[in-house]
Amino acid sequence: MGLEKTIEKLDKYFKRLEQGKAAKIKTSHLRKVAEKLKAKERSLDAELEEAATAEKRQRLQRKLALVREQQNRVRWLETQLGD
Q: What is the DSSP string of 41-59?
A: HHHHHHHHHH--SHHHHHH
- The answer to whether the pTM exceeds 0.85 is no
The predicted-structure confidence for 20-55, as pLDDT tens digits, reads as follows 888 888 888 888 989 999 999 999 999 999 999 999
61 within a domain of the structure (yes/no): yes
Spell out the residues 6+ positions from residue 27 whose beta carbon is closer than 8 angstroms to its own: 78, 81, 83
Q: Is residue 2 situated within a structural domain?
A: no
pLDDT tens, position by position, 68-80 = 998 998 898 888 8
pLDDT, residue 78, reads 86
Q: Does residue 49 lie in a domain region? A: yes
Domain assignment of residue 6, yes or no: no
Domain that holds residue 66: 24-81
Residue 60 lies in a domain: yes
- Asked whether residue 63 is domain-assigned, the answer is yes
The answer to whether residue 13 sits within a structural domain is no
The total of structural domains in the chain comes to 1
Predicted confidence at residue 64, as pLDDT, reads: 94
Residue 77 lies in a domain: yes
